[in-house]
A and B are shown apart, each in its own frame.
Chain A
Amino acid sequence: MTVRRCSIALLALGVLVAGLYGRAIAFPVDGDQTTLPPKTELNEDALDKPREVFRSEFAGGKSYMINLGNLAFSSPGILGGVARQAAVSCGTCHVNGAGNAKFFVPKMSTRPGNFDTTGPLFNPKADNFVLDAVRIPSLRGARYLAPYGVDGRMPSLRDFVHNVIVNEFAGPEPSPVILDAIVAYIQDIDFLPNASLGPGGRLIGKISESERRGEALFTKPFRHDPGLSCAGCHTPSGVFSDHQQHDVGSGGLFKTPTLRNADFNAPYFHDGRFDSYDQVVVHFDRVFDLGLSEQDRRDLVAYLTAVGDGTLPYEHDGAGASLKEINDFATVLGTAIPAGDKDTVSLAVDTIGNELRELTEQYPDRKNTSVTGGGQQRALARSALKELVLILRRIDMAVADGRTAEAATDYKNYRYLMAAAVPAVLAGAEPWSLFNPAVHDSHYAALRQVMQSKHTPR
């Protein structure tokens, strides 16, 4: 087996002369020639990414449809116009199925973490000529959270996804299988577990006095509206939502958001106007004249924090995490190649190729001034990833020509490389990569410093 893997590595990695070439391209978006407005922040350089928990991981593994959905969710190709051009995918806003609190597009966001889905940028035809940005929601637990949209206007998640692709982001009409797949993927994203939540949404285990008092306040009727309470809408349960629309003094009727994992879902309210639970509690105290004392407010915040918690909300981004996702995507090829499914193969090749090219840029080239050392290791990593991109493209070309057996052989080689050789090469280069916080900070500080020259008053 070792010999076989070795020969495949020989074949596919090519003659690797240690060294570096190419150039690291990275956000922030800036300059006069960008598809997205200058000063757009996509937060793609974050070193910690939201952790994904999938229902299917506890039920025998992800299905083809879930992996296909995840792939499509990560593909700019299913969107249209500007989004496709700017390499924006569903996953740009919903990072690993969560939100993106730093996402900001000038004139389309009113603050980081929100976005006007009916603005002029992505689909001028959908422009309602009002800057009405809405918070980018987390999709964790979305299968429990119908109806969809901040105003709860759509009972069907499938219809909602269709609307996002076709109307909000000007994408071509998606095939039914792609729509079903994206829905399957979203419905597979679970809430992060919270050991403090018991049956009926009660706090269990080691609970502080403040949290306990907060729990009581949460269910206590409002003093001027005894028919109302926090718990009346955020029904203590596995979801903490009544799935209804309410007017809570924020400018209209909006759906009750879940409190599950909400510690990681700031900013809050439909437009993301609040940064913290403190501000949210103050708002309710004011609008409903609850007469809360300082201690009451602190207790409610403690309670919300306990309810909104989740295990390991973030994970350090590294080659391992990227490769895991890329490997999940690539499983789609295992089905699509033998079936001669050209569209799916192309989607997979384009999307995985994008991911691999982005991963390549995590290993700075030799012209990059922000890292020294590890030249051979970085070159090896860059070269290996580029070879993978090319194997995938060969697969695409072969399937397009009806040469599926050839494509299947390439796919087998690809999988062998991804099983051992590539992870080893990337691990060898990790200390000099942007996954190393010191190198990361040095690189982005250099980049931002250069970009700043564009905005310094003259």
Chain B
Amino acid sequence: MIDLRVAACLALLVLGTGVRATMAAPLDDAAENYRPYMIEGIGQALAGARNLRERIAAGDLAGAKKAWISARAGWERSEVFTAGFVPELDAEIDAWPNANSGFHAIEARLFGAGRTDVESDTDALVEHLDSLHGKLRNMALPPQGLLDGIVRLAYEVGESKADGGESRISGTSLDDMRNNVAGIAFAYRAIFATALGNADAKLADALAMRIERLKVVVAARDLPSLDIPELRRVSEELVIMLQGASGKLGLQRATLEAKSL
């Protein structure tokens, strides 16, 4: 059992951290800048998944792999919001390691076993992505949730991929990371960069520098060439700066775990 005092500390923390409302309105407007990117990313994932369905129906393994990679890229670019905003769909679409449906189940069949008998898995993926895509136009985009999403993803990017990473069967873990970083860079720039620049130009500069550095690190030739200690350092420094920026943006300190299902 969790020590009662610890639990009390944590409860107090949640209640005791107030939101400074001064910045909320401009950030609400800025958050709308993110919506087209989000729609485009999930749109790419959905188009890729539909193409994947066609390719497997045609028994075209090479084409199916290509479609899977394209769908995956759209998904990974969108991970800033998926875990926090649509946790149920996120868990269906990106379950790991031996999911019944979703990206990784299909990956194991296509890239591992070299088979295209993934009709039902692909149907489920298309259905989930379609359902998600349909929600995006009217989904509320609270800046706090988006900042939390950026922070969580920035931390996650720093995890070691020495074992081949999450998408190790397809060998696309580095692509996942690059798309994650692209998603982080866009979301930060579109939603928070201007506001933070006004509140603390020095911190905004330092933060932008870390994001650029992260891009350079993940531009490595391949996963074995990735400078993992440097990646970790930059990822953690970025998270610390984003947490430091939270208050200056009138938001709560960004958290490291998304809401439970």
Contact = CB atoms under 8 A, between A and B. Distances in A.
Contact of A23 (B5, B8, B109, B166): B166
A6 B171 CA distance: 45
Contact of A84 (B229, B255, B261): B229
Nearest to A360: B159
Given A19-B261, A33-B164, A34-B168, A425 B2 contact: yes
B90 A389 contact: no
A450 B243 contact: no
Interface residues of B, number: 73
Chain B CB within 10 Å, residue with most, of A18, A368, A450, A451: A450
Interface stretch (A57-65, A248-256, A375-383): A375-383
A274 B85 CA distance: 57
A331 interface: no
Contacts of B197: none
Contact of A29 (B109, B111, B164, B252): B164
A397 B238 CA distance: 12
Contacts of A434: none
Q: Is the interface of A mostly helix, strand, loop or mixed?
A: helix
B149 to A, nearest CB: 9
B150 to A, nearest CB: 13
A26 B114 CA distance: 23
B32 interface: no
Contact of B258 (A5, A19, A23, A451): A19
Nearest to A29: B163
A420 B10 CA distance: 13
Interface in A159-205: none
Interface stretch (B40-48, B63-71, B97-105): B97-105
Interface string B71-107: 0000000000001000100110011111110001000
A370 B97 CA distance: 8
Interface stretch (B135-143, B184-192, B220-228): B220-228
Interface of B: 1-3, 5-6, 8-10, 12-14, 16-17, 83, 87, 90-91, 94-100, 104, 108-109, 111-115, 152, 155-156, 159-166, 168-169, 171, 173-174, 222-229, 232-233, 236-237, 239-240, 243, 252-261
Interface of A: 2, 5-7, 9-10, 13-36, 38, 76-77, 82, 84-87, 350, 353-354, 357, 366-370, 375-377, 379-380, 382-383, 386-387, 389-390, 393-394, 396-397, 420-421, 424-425, 427-428, 443, 446-447, 449-451, 453-454, 456, 458
In order of increasing CB-CB distance, the 5 nearest A-B pairs are A31-B168, A453-B112, A31-B164, A19-B260, A428-B2
